Amino acid sequence: MTYKILNGNELIIQGGLEAGFSLYTGYPGSPLADYFNILHARKDELHDKGIRVALGNTEANAAAMAGGAKQAGRNVMVGMKSMGLHVASDALSVGNFANGGMPTIDPVTGETVYSGVVVVVGDDPWSMSTSTAADSRYLFKHLHMPFLEPSTPQELKDWIAHALTLSQRSSLYTGVLVTTFIAEGGGRVQIGDEALVPQERTDFDPSTFNLSESVMVPPNSLGADQRMIRQRFPKVKKLLKELALDRQLGFADAKIGFISSGVVYESLKQIMEEEQYLDEFSLYKVAASYPLVDELLVPWLSKLETLVVVEEKRGFLENELLHLCQEHDIKLKLFGKDFLDPSLPEGEQILEGFPADGGISYEILRSKMNQLMGLLHRHPCQHKTPELIRLDNPLPMRLPTFCPGCPHRETLSLLKELRKVFKEEEGINLISHGDVGCYSLSFLEPFKEMHDISAMGQGGAFGAGMDLFSNNPSVVLMGDSTFFHSGLSAISNSVQLGHNITYIVLDNDFTAMTGHQMSPSTGQSVEGRKRPEQDMLNLVRGMGVDEAVEVNPSDRYFYRNVLKHYVKKSGTKVIVSNKECGLTFAASQKARDRKIFGAGETKPVQTFFQINTSACEDCRMCVEMTGCPGLSQTEDAYGPKMFIDPQICVSDGYCSKILACPSFEKVEVINYHPTRYQTAEQGLKAASASLPEPERVKSFDDILQGSDWRVVVTGVGGSGVTTISRVLAEAGEEMNGIDDLDFKFMDQKGLAQRNGRVTGHLSIFNRNKSASAITPLGTADLVLSPDLLDGSAAVGFLAPYGQALLDEEFQIPLSILLNYGEEQEVLKSAKLREQLADKLKERAFFSPMKAVSHRQLGKSVYASAILLGIAYQKGMLPFTEANMEGAFRRSVPKAEFDNNWRAFTLGREMVVMGVEAFRNQYLPQIENSLISLFRQSVQESAAVWESSDRLAQLFDQGLKELQVLFPEIDHNHLAHYVHDLVVYDRNQALTGFMADAKGLKSLYPDPSLQKIALRALCKTYWIKDEVFVAHLMISPLKEAQDQQAYQHLGTDYRIIHLNRPEFDLMDRRIAFEFSPKKWMLKQMRHQRWLRKAQAKVHAQEHEIALKIRHELLNAIPKQEGDKRQQLMRLDNIKGYRQVRYEKAAKVFDNMQPPASTGQQIPVVQVHQP
């Protein structure tokens, strides 16, 4: 007896191999997104078995191929999502009514056996990754297709063969309907033998084809309809009865019966087991909601007085049962989508029953069961949900966004910029029509560049309908896979209508939204066969579009000019934006790097990008214009600042092309290796450490006795969360030989691949019990997360004894980056840790797992293995060390095992050492204090004619005075203020600031307001001009930060400043891109005379500074209302030149930003202030 841990898509394919299909086809779509990825990974094995795999251009293509394969006498599996079933319905209907092929006679039964077609459809009741809610049961019925609804992983695998039997014996296409929680879930299943499929091709004689059954055109169509209704479909009920897949449980003679199907049946059964309802009620599991088998159901229904129907979405099963009862004159009280309460006044007696919108969770079902028990006059649920952990304030949302390095971001950034240009220069409002793909996320912040959406590939047709009655110019975003799916038809439609529209075809080489399947423009098939790369540019030119061009979206300025020209020009135009998906490009690069580092070699040069936080003004134009998740936040004396998170950034450098400020830098590390250059003190020691074996909190024996083990794993998509789930799943494969234990898991992916949240649910329980796929609230032994924010959102799952093991920081979501903190203070990681510690006490464990992983192993993704090591050493996993090692070996690529196992050992060592000792061991800090670095910086700013000692005295004196005035403000922050004032204008700036600062203390008695007011005041005494910034680019603090970040990665590194100075020359404004050398910056920082010579360049910035100072000292203290909000509005006037002018104009009524003539820095719309 062989057991394997398989996910839902793997179960479908394993079931297919055991059933015997010659062709696997379909079209990728969540929750069946992994279907073709698994088939592609097994392409060699399938080829050797004579099995073909064909990814259709559309679901309709796949459905038609299924009909052709059936005609050839082969069994076919077709996989698609619910929306794809709509697309395929025409071909499925024709194929199902037709009855082509070469039937054979079963030598045992004498029955006619046909080649079979099984259509596996994935529904998404919660609409986690689907544009519109759909209930495929109705369409299956419309197409005369019987369908099965498996409830468990074992059933999902086994019932594929039953579906094929139904199809072969009835000659009908047969459906298998799965939902997200089983398709993206999985479990421990018993594996059967694989069936052999015929490998030889056949020579057909078309004269033997029965054309009356294979050609569906009149007059054949009426005959096909008659055969379907009178002969073929009636066979299904007989076959379902013989298969005997329905189940009856509970009290056989009960007058109240419950009936359900699919995944929700397991949740219903779990609740009925927990509450002992099976002792007094009957429970029926129906394998196929359509058709219902009279001979199985009528005897059960006839015993009942009350029937309760539990199903997700609309009342399909309920209506089928009503029809069945009417046919057999069975009178029942029915509770389903409606509950009847006769005690209420007439007209109010109908209450909402089990919801028809969304799915049905364990909690929803339990709540409705409680309500129902009251109406049935039975005891309510006794099993009480423990008091849940709830944080006092709602957490910021983590919205999905485009991946680091995504080429779509480059298009959307330009569209956002051009939208404002068109509006301001010509009063034109640009309309952006959307389509289905990754780029559908463009309606979200920060772009909002999609104003509508239609069916896949129909964005242009939607636009045609609107543009017939509109003067607005319009663009359509369309992906390369969508182009071949049905977008070509929309472009042809625009051409024949004479439609004025610009199609932007986003060619990234893959069907990226669903997990990087091949598209027709990819030069390889899903079977690994080389094929022509279909050229979209030549295709559209052949269709007669007015203009077509291909661009590299990274060439921002060329692309901008093309796009501006095309949008304003009449006719049907096509721009093909050609750049590989950022994920696949990065994956290929990582694979090449692994080979280099695995061979003990180094890379000659590795490029990074960073933000000089001293030069950064926190204007957030980089966020507003790119939304890249690699952009994050840090904090210094002036509040939040932008920085590039090296754990996420893929160094595509697009954020630096916005050129809104001089703070971006390119870093080239020489002879790069992620771990070779660690010093002895910093290097890994965990691998050889002798670690004590932990005492397990819950063992397999405890679980066997009924104490379920449940874990919730959550985090940002791409951060290794699914690796945690997979390793734990693999560890549970053997269960130390205990066959009476079962294992289930579910990965709620949704839009996680696009930096949304992914949440995995895992459980081990006695095989005789039922368990819902999703962890019920208040029942988890563990919440694991390499992200503090996502982990905090999941603590409601914790049982009263459960533990939360979380990273101490979180990846900053866009919702925070785009929140300027005026309404209320933005959530910080320290505050969130404090809240969790208050709620969970010792059950919360925070650690720097991502930082350690990045520092010691070169990538933060290994934090997932560190997290598992922490959980293991704390005794929270029931597995042995050997279980875990084997699980890692089976779950991660061979080349990645060593680093993952080292990370696992690091996690164990963290528990043994304690977090702070571990931090000191593995996360070296800057040696010199910040104050000493600021003092050194002041001294180094001295020109040859100045005394560095005198400047140091100014610094010391100013810092001492501020420390007396503001003892509650961080002394490093005070040192930063004094440093900037002295470096900028020596004693003159410092003297004025100190005088105002003394008055500030009495004007704002609240220390929290003093902090905001003081930093805002300081910024009014200097301007980050070319002279000041020159020093900030080479200060000792900056050099210390660079050393800490890069010295352990190579033999040397060089900083390339991406600068854009501006000067007035005669009556012209000159702006140019320039990367100054260090010696140039050293010279420039002393040229203070330029401030007078170029006074006009920064005149408005000085005017803004004076207005802010006036508001701080004279206006706000006298005003009523929220002073913090008023101060933050002033503090948020920041940025360089035009950006600052526009922000100031929103705060000060009498100030208008100057015209941006000659100003080449992009002028864009910002959110707030």
10 Å Cβ neighbour count for 886? 17
Residue 379: what residue type? H
What is residue 509's DSSP assignment? Answer: S
| Residue 51, both tokens | 């099995």
Q: Which parts of the chain have pLDDT scores under 70?
A: 679-689, 750-755, 927, 1063-1064, 1066, 1069, 1152-1169
10 Å Cβ neighbour count for 569? 13
Helix (H) or strand (E) segment spanning residue 716:
strand 709-716
What is residue 1115's DSSP assignment? Answer: I
| Residue 349, both tokens | 């007696």
Of residues 918, 925, 931, the one with CA closest to residue 958 = 931
- Report how far residue 19's alpha carbon sits from residue 168's, in angstroms, rounded to the nearest whole number: 11
- Report how far residue 579's alpha carbon sits from residue 1011's, in angstroms, rounded to the nearest whole number: 46
Of residues 666, 665, 655, the one with CA closest to residue 619 = 655
Residue 764: what residue type? I
> Taking a C-beta distance cutoff of 8 angstroms, is the pair 268, 296 a contact?
no
- Report how far residue 1128's alpha carbon sits from residue 621's, in angstroms, rounded to the nearest whole number: 18
Across the chain, mean pLDDT equals 92
| Residue 132, both tokens | 């519109």
Sketch out the chain's domains with CATH numbers: 3-239 (3.40.50.970), 248-375 (3.40.50.920), 408-453+465-525+535-580 (3.40.50.970), 586-664 (no CATH), 693-922 (3.40.920.10)
| Residue 169, both tokens | 């014996």
- In the three-class reduction of DSSP (H, G, I as helix; E, B as strand; rest coil), residue 87 is classed as helix
Residue 36: what residue type? F
> What backbone phi and psi angles, to 5 degrees, belong to 369?
-65, -40
pLDDT confidence of residue 1162: 34
- In the three-class reduction of DSSP (H, G, I as helix; E, B as strand; rest coil), residue 526 is classed as coil
> Taking a C-beta distance cutoff of 8 angstroms, is the pair 823, 1125 a contact?
yes
- Report how far residue 792's alpha carbon sits from residue 782's, in angstroms, rounded to the nearest whole number: 12
10 Å Cβ neighbour count for 343? 6
CA triple 146-248-356, angle to 5 deg: 55
What is residue 813's DSSP assignment? Answer: P
> Taking a C-beta distance cutoff of 8 angstroms, is the pair 964, 1009 a contact?
no
